[in-house]
Structure 1
Amino acid sequence: MGKKGGESTSNSHDKEFYQEIGQKGGEATSDSHGREFYEDIGRKGGEATSDSHGREFYQEIGQQGGEARSGSGSNGDGKMSREEAGRKGGEARARQRQRGN
């Protein structure tokens, strides 16, 4: 298909189309792989993240998580909202990139 075919497909489908095919792909993967598969990719992802982030990064996100759990920035049940978690994670990553890590 190539680049032009991909662009043509992209131009002719909306967000819902991609959400639907993504969901179908996820379901197919789930049907064909067991628990070990997901443990393995989770472990590999964790190792890759650990390799690319320093100790300070984990200290910072741990502190932010603790603060969120204690009530500041939470939605009342002691849990951080997804939006807040995403914002804080993005801010932490941006600070890390600015420091050159």
Structure 2
Amino acid sequence: SNTSKRGFASMDAKEQREIASKGGKAAHEQGVAHEWDSKEAREAGKKGGLASHINRQNAKS
């Protein structure tokens, strides 16, 4: 394709991380960022662990 890279695609990984970090910090300062509680984090970890377990089983067959 003849389209040039634009936005984040045109930046190196370090530059992308710096901008994303600024966005996250600004969201927390404004009080609109998501903050995990222990119950929610536990559920997310369980879901991720279950998904990786299923993927491992599927890879064996």
Normalised by the length of structure 2, the TM-score is 0.49
Task: Name the structure where helix makes up a greater proportion of residues.
Answer: 1
Which protein has greater RCO, CA pairs closer than 8 Å, 6+ apart? 1
